[in-house]
Amino acid sequence: MDKFIIRGGKKLKGKVEISGAKNAALALMPATLLSRGIYTFTNMPNLRDVRTMATLLSRLGVDCKYRVHKMVIDTSSVNRYEAPYELVKKMRASIYVLGPLLARYGYAKVSMPGGCAWGPRPINLHLEGLKKLGAKIDLDQGYIIAQSKRLSGNNVTFDVSSVGATGNILMAAVLAKGTTIIENAAIEPEITALAEFLSKMGAKISGIGTRRLEIEGVDELTPADARMIPDRIEAGTFLIAGAITHGEVTVTECNPENLIAILEKLRAVGCKLEIGVDYVKLKAPKKLKPVDVKTEIYPGFPTDMQAQWIALMTLASGTSIVTDTIYYDRFKHVPELIRLGADIELHKNVAVVRGVRKLIGAKVMSTDLRASASLILAGLVAEGTTEILRIYHIDRGYEFIEKKLRALGADIRRVSSKEY
C-alpha cells in the first residue's frame, strides 16, 4: 500500500486545475444502461472509483474505454444484470445500477451495501421508492433482487433528502409508464447534472434543480454525450490547502456557484477571495479566525468538506464548533488529527476544535476519502514530517493530488509499498 510523506511548512502558491466531479461521473455512467448504444463522456476524472464503476459496467457486458479524461461507453451488448459483492463492497455508488437495470431490463441483482468505513449508510429510500414504482424487491443471501414488468409512475416523497435515492428513482422513472413526482428530491449539482443528461437522452423531466421533480416516462431513450461538471469538493479542498498554509491559491476550471457555502466560510475565516466565472483566487490571512460549520444538504456546507474544515480549524486562533448533520459518525479523522497535535473534543456529531499554535508531523492512518484529505491538509502545515498510510482511499476521489499539490509548492511524495 502506498503512503505519502509530507514535509510541512511550505506556503502554497499558484493555480490548480479542478478535475471533473467524481460523484457526477458515478451517477452518469450507470445511466448509460438505460439505452443501448455509444456514449462519450469528457472531463472524466482519472479516479479509482470511476475505474471501479467501469469494471462493474463491464461485468454487465458494457464496453468502457478510457483515455485521458475521455470515456467511451458502449452498452450495445449488455447481457448480465448483477452487481457482485466484491465490487459493491469497494464502492457503495454501485447501487446506482439498480434503478437503470430494473427500468430497462426488468431485473437487477445488486449486493446489499454494508456499512461504510465511518458507519451505517442505509438504502431504504432507494428500495421504498422503487417499490412505489411497482418493483418487487426481495433480499436473498445479501443480494437485493428487484424485478418488474414495466415500472409505473407514482408519487415518491423522501423523508430525508438523499442524493443516491433521488438518482436511482430518477433513472428508474424516466422509462416508467406514466408520471412520477419526486418530492424532497436532492438538488446537489451532481443530481442536476444527471437530470440534464437524462433529458439529453430524451427523458421528460421538469423541475430540474428544484426539490420537486416531475418525470413523464417515455418508451425509449437514446444515447447522448456529456461533459462532467467540475468537482466542487476537490475545489474546496484545494482552497483550504491555500488557507491552511497561509498561501495564495487559485482554483481554475471550477464552478464558483456550486461553492457558495464553502466560500462564505472561507471569507469568515479572513481569506480574501476573487471570484470569476470559472475560478476562485484565495489569499490567506496571517491569522485564521475560528468559524463554526454545520453540514447541510446542498446548497448548505457539504459533509464531504467537514473533515477538511476541521483540519483548517485546528490552527484557528480560537475555538470552533463543527457539526455533521448528514453523517453522525463521520469523524474517523479526529483521532488522527489529534496525533498531529490538534486539540479536538468529540461529542457525538459535534467536534469542538480548539485552535493550537502548531501541528507536529507524525505517522497517521487514512481511513476514508475525505479523512485522508484532511490529514494531507494538516500534514502540509505540520512541523517536520508527516507520513500518511493507506492512501489508496485518496485515489478514490482526488486525481493526481500529490502532483497538483507539488505544482503549488508542497513537499509531498508518494512512496509505493515496494519501496518500504
Q: Could you tell me the smallest distance in angstroms from the CB atom of residue 254 to ligand EPU?
A: 16
Rule CB under 6 A: is residue 404 a binding residue for ligand EPU? Answer: no
Rule CB under 6 A: is residue 23 a binding residue for ligand EPU? Answer: yes
Task: Tell me the three state secondary structure of residue 270.
Answer: coil
Contacts with ligand EPU in 186-205 (CB under 6 A)?
186, 190
Between 64 and 93, CB nearer to ligand EPU = 93
d(CA 305, CA 131): 33
Contacts with ligand EPU in 89-108 (CB under 6 A)?
93
Give the one residue of 369, 380, 405, 410 binding ligand EPU; rule: CB under 6 A.
369
d(CA 132, CA 307): 36
If one counts every other C-beta atom within 10 angstroms of the C-beta of residue 310, the result is: 26
Between 191 and 280, CB nearer to ligand EPU = 191
Q: What is the DSSP letter of 41?
A: E
Between 8 and 99, CB nearer to ligand EPU = 99
Q: Which single residue brings its beta carbon nearest to ligand EPU?
A: 164
The pair phi, psi for residue 69, each rounded to 5°, is: 60, 15
All three cell numbers of 27:
451517477
Rule CB under 6 A: is residue 392 a binding residue for ligand EPU? Answer: no
Instruction: Give the CA dihedral 29, 31, 33, 34, nearest 10 degrees.
Output: -160
Q: Could you tell me the smallest distance in angstroms from the CB atom of residue 124 to ligand EPU?
A: 5
d(CA 281, CA 261): 16
The number of CA neighbours under 13 Å toward the Cβ of 119 is 9
Rule CB under 6 A: is residue 135 a binding residue for ligand EPU? Answer: no
Contacts with ligand EPU in 164-183 (CB under 6 A)?
164-165
Between 250 and 258, CB nearer to ligand EPU = 258
Q: Are 274 and 307 in contact (CB under 8 A)?
A: no
**Which span (100-108, 117-125, 213-221, 384-392) binds ligand EPU, by CB under 6 A?**
117-125
Consecutive H or E run containing 352: strand 350-354
d(CA 70, CA 50): 12
Contacts with ligand EPU in 248-307 (CB under 6 A)?
302-304
Give the one residue of 160, 204, 225, 415 binding ligand EPU; rule: CB under 6 A.
160
The number of CA neighbours under 13 Å toward the Cβ of 250 is 11
Rule CB under 6 A: is residue 132 a binding residue for ligand EPU? Answer: no
Q: Are 239 and 230 in contact (CB under 8 A)?
A: no
Rule CB under 6 A: is residue 139 a binding residue for ligand EPU? Answer: no
d(CA 330, CA 129): 26
User: Binding-site residue total for ligand EPU (CB under 6 A)?
Assistant: 24
Between 3 and 126, CB nearer to ligand EPU = 126
Q: Could you tell me the smallest distance in angstroms from the CB atom of residue 236 to ligand EPU?
A: 12
DSSP string, 190-228: HHHHHHHHHHHTT-EEESTTSSEEEEE--S------EEP
d(CA 135, CA 172): 10
Alpha helices, DSSP H, located in 60-186? 85-88, 98-105, 124-132, 163-173
Hey, what amino acid is at 313? M
Rule CB under 6 A: is residue 57 a binding residue for ligand EPU? Answer: no
Give the one residue of 162, 237, 314, 349 binding ligand EPU; rule: CB under 6 A.
162
Give the one residue of 189, 217, 247, 397 binding ligand EPU; rule: CB under 6 A.
397
Rule CB under 6 A: is residue 237 a binding residue for ligand EPU? Answer: no
Contacts with ligand EPU in 315-344 (CB under 6 A)?
326-327
Peptide bond into 299 cis (omega under 30): yes
**Known catalytic membership, residue 254:** no
Between 291 and 305, CB nearer to ligand EPU = 305
Q: Could you tell me the smallest distance in angstroms from the CB atom of residue 194 to ligand EPU?
A: 10
CA distances to 139, 150, 179, 322 from 217, in Å: 27, 11, 6, 42
Between 156 and 369, CB nearer to ligand EPU = 369
CA 234 to chain centre: 9
Between 164 and 217, CB nearer to ligand EPU = 164
**Which span (63-71, 149-157, 159-167, 336-344) binds ligand EPU, by CB under 6 A?**
159-167
Give the one residue of 51, 121, 283, 354 binding ligand EPU; rule: CB under 6 A.
121
What residue ranges bind ligand EPU (CB under 6 A)?
23, 26, 93, 121-126, 160, 162-165, 186, 190, 302-304, 326-327, 369-370, 397
Residues labelled as active-site residues: 116
